[in-house]
Amino acid sequence: MRLGGLIRTAAVGGGLLVGLVAPSVGAAPETGVAGAEVVSDVVVEGRLRELVVSSPALGREAGVRVLLPAGYDDPANAGRTWPVLWLLHGVGDDHRSWTARTDVEGLTADLPMVVAMPEAGRTPDAGWYSDWVAGLAWETFHLRELLPLVEARFHAGGARERRAVIGFSMGGFGALSYAARHPDLWVAAGSISGAVDTVLAGPVQSVLFQVLHPVAGTPDDRVWGPYLTSEVVWRGHNPVDLATNLRPLGALWIRTGNGVPAAGDDPVTIPLEVGVYPMNLVLHDRLARAGIAHDWFDRGYGTHDWPYREADLAAILPGLTAVLADPPPPPAAFDHRFVEDERDVFGWRFTVADRGGPAFTELTAVSASGLTAAGLGTLAATTPPGYEGRWQVTTPAGTTEVEADGDGRLAFSLPLGGAPVAVTLAPVQRAATPAAPTDP
């Protein structure tokens, strides 16, 4: 999916453009990437639909349930585009679990939004909302195939300001990982008892995951690779390591219990909540120290079971509805860190070469007038559209001039390594034309 951006233009010293004010994801295409298509679309009951999608990314078919809002078929709503909540499931569950185990239908009955609940793999092959290093490409399926298909089909989402993501357990990891890796896709995100720090105990945790994988669906080496040789890949998907990427969100919820059971709680669900609780404490602390606003709720008790996830979803929905009704604008400047060779974010495209292997690239204060970058290798950057004419690109190594292309984008590159490199973009100053002489 290619991300677009909107630029405010104004006269500045003989050039054009002052600030990036509304970058956003472009309208969802009518279909996903080549080959992804809807195989079946069945009305389960009332507002609830179930689709089966043929996915090239997975090499098989996968399901998604969709709850339509009341009044969806009302002629008065013809042509309306609805906000959409992507609601993600946990390990051992599937796309039917939210509707089978909670009253999500009742909770959303009066809300003006579409709710999409995608499949993400079950124990032992839970997908962990990632493109595996060996095997299934769940992130590609969800974001490049399923998201545009579902949103186009049901007149929903289509832009950051009309889209949110929330999940439970593994789905809480997925919601915040997707939001941190692609903050331009979502205006809001939430985690309910999420496994939001998959590197909490370092290599010990990866060994524990391997041991528990057959029964608990924890990630094995196929997902992000062996921890000892692929730690940076693990961290490149981990919400705690990507916490600063969440700053652009208009709203962020983190809710958790601690494993202390209440009367009637299933004791089998105690250890899982005990396990995720410290992960959530770490993320809360990381966000607080970074000054990133978030709605934090520590219940003080509670296990990893359905009654709690239903209660937490019910608590989030009023605030989510308000944010989707009056979304904040995209940021004029943002920070972003990533480990991949390429990243599209808020209309910018970044490509990193010659790093010698995966490593974090750190971008700060990215705006229409420049950025600061740190990392390894050579960073090639292409701006969002909206620039015109010739621009100066100034770095510590000097100043060069570049011409905006036919789409109004600027392209430049710079070597990384050592201290952060600041880049300033400014329109080329044109000499004033002398006034014509006047007759004496």
In angstroms, the Cα distances linking 265 to 92, 301, 304, 359 are 19, 11, 9, 43
Burial 64-95 (b: 16+ CB within 10 A, else e): bbbbbbeebeeeeeeeebbbbbbbbbbbbbbb
Give pLDDT, residue 6: 30
What averages of pLDDT result for each successive group of 10 residues across the chain (440 residues)? Answer: 30 33 37 79 98 97 98 94 98 96 98 98 91 94 98 97 98 99 99 98 86 84 93 98 99 99 96 97 99 99 97 99 98 98 98 94 98 98 97 96 98 94 93 51
Q: Where along the chain do its domains lie?
A: 27-325, 334-427
Residue whose pair of structure tokens reads 């396990």 in the numeric block: 275
Give pLDDT, residue 23: 35
Give pLDDT, residue 432: 53
pTM (whole model) above 0.85: yes
- CATH class belonging to 27-325: alpha beta
Closest to 50 in 3D by CA, of 95, 105, 104: 95
Give pLDDT, residue 433: 52
Alpha-carbon dihedral sign for residues 150, 153, 159, 165: negative
Give pLDDT, residue 34: 65
